[in-house]
Amino acid sequence: MHALKLENLNKTYASGVVALRDVNLVVEEGDFFGLLGPNGAGKSTAIGIISSLVTKTSGQVAVFGYDLDTHRWEAKSALGLVPQEFNFNNFETVEQIVLHQAGYYGIPPRVARRRCERYLRELGLWEKRRAASRTLSGGMKRRLMIARALVHEPRLLILDEPTAGVDIELRRSMWEFLRHINRSDGVTIILTTHYLEEAENLCRNIAIIDDGEIVENTDTQSLLTRLGTHDFILDVQQDLDRLPEGLEFSLRPLGPRQLEVEVHKDQTLTRLFAQLAEAGIHVSSMKNKSNRLEELFLRLLRDRGPEDRRLA
């Protein structure tokens, strides 16, 4: 079943700016889907339309088969939103924010209190339930927005850059939590993020939006295999006076004990290490030069527009 279906979605702002051009997109139930794109590409507009905060110019949005225009209650009840910016009442307590949200979805108070406790505990906010939301740290506020979005137990959760400005430890724990609700609770997740490492780690399918159009829509693995080459940084055990000759791989020195190597998709790392060992070079550690998805993302956008395109 389609968790989300966008058909010929268009949005032109009053200023004349065209934010979305005939966007067609399908997200299947149970998917962990990444919606990526540079700033101003149309991601937030698309999410705004899906969540009814932006009025569409034309097109259709269906959530689990329910049209957003004709079956508002059903479509909106199935949807949870974690927006990019904090948008809760600073004067309300953590508990009040979550309980009020449950009320807007018609959840009876007793059920709402039970769910509120569950999600606040799972997200480590239970001890802070009586604290005014304005007193929370940035990371706690992000978690509060997730708890608030989950209290009506939506089947589709949309997260608009949920880990922006969050420290790495918290980011990893949020990844775990999102994986958990996707796998165990079956919640379909749509994620927009500027951290492409995050998308590569979490998302099974990815769409890339640029200038209001979907330019790629496929599974993450297929997308990554499109990279013809993969660059690695190698730390070696001894100083390199000169680079070995006659290797199948293209090497570039970065320092006395560091090398950059380009591996084509038809070459193997086993072969690389064997050739380096033959040349008397022993590798002590290795890392990706850049995130693979990031590299692909940049190439895709570079191919579509000017090289000096400003990316997030």
Partner 1 sequence: MYWRRTLIALATITHKEIQRFLRIWVQTLLPPAITMALYFIIFGNLIGPRIGPMDGYSYIEFIAPGIIMMAVITNSYSNVVSSFFGAKFQRHIEEILVSPTPNAVILLGYVAGGVSRGLLTGFIVTLVSLFFTRLHIHNLPVTISVVFLTSVLFSLGGFINAVFARKFDDISIVPTFILTPLTYLGGVFYSISLLPEFWRWVSMTNPVLYMVNAFRYGILGASDINIWTAYGLILFFIALLGSFSLYLLHRGTGLRT
Contact positions toward partner 1, by CB under 8 A? 13, 48, 51-55, 72-77, 79, 81, 83, 85, 87-91, 96-97, 100-101, 103-109, 148, 152
| Cβ–Cβ < 8 Å for 5, 62 | yes
Q: What is the rounded distance in angstroms from the CA atom of residue 304 to the CA atom of residue 294?
A: 15
Q: Smaller CB distance to partner 1: residue 12 or 217?
A: 12
Report, in Å, the least distance between residue 196 CB and partner 1. Answer: 27
| Cβ–Cβ < 8 Å for 46, 6 | yes
Report, in Å, the least distance between residue 71 CB and partner 1. Answer: 10
Report, in Å, the least distance between residue 100 CB and partner 1. Answer: 5
Q: Smaller CB distance to partner 1: residue 90 or 229?
A: 90
Q: Smaller CB distance to partner 1: residue 6 or 196?
A: 6
Q: What is the rounded distance in angstroms from the CA atom of residue 94 to the CA atom of residue 120?
A: 9
Place of tokens 């990706």: 288
Q: Smaller CB distance to partner 1: residue 3 or 296?
A: 3
| Cβ–Cβ < 8 Å for 29, 3 | yes
Report, in Å, the least distance between residue 169 CB and partner 1. Answer: 28
Q: Smaller CB distance to partner 1: residue 189 or 301?
A: 189
Report, in Å, the least distance between residue 62 CB and partner 1. Answer: 15
Residue partners of 222: CB distance under 8 A and separation at least 6: none
Q: How many residues does the chain have?
A: 312
Q: What is the rounded distance in angstroms from the CA atom of residue 309 to the CA atom of residue 159?
A: 25
SS3 60: strand
Q: Smaller CB distance to partner 1: residue 89 or 222?
A: 89
Report, in Å, the least distance between residue 86 CB and partner 1. Answer: 8
Q: Smaller CB distance to partner 1: residue 153 or 295?
A: 153
Looking at the DSSP assignment, which residues form a beta bridge with residue 98?
none
Place of tokens 């008397």: 280
Report DSSP letters for 37-80, one per residue: --TTSSHHHHHHHHTTSS--SEEEEEETTEETTT-HHHHHHTEE
Report, in Å, the least distance between residue 98 CB and partner 1. Answer: 10
| Cβ–Cβ < 8 Å for 119, 98 | yes
- Chain-centre distance of CA 87, in angstroms? 20
Place of tokens 């049209």: 67
| Cβ–Cβ < 8 Å for 148, 129 | no
Which two three-digit tokens encode residue 242?
């000169």
Amino acid at 273: F
Report, in Å, the least distance between residue 73 CB and partner 1. Answer: 4
Q: Smaller CB distance to partner 1: residue 140 or 261?
A: 140
Which two three-digit tokens encode residue 255?
């320092």
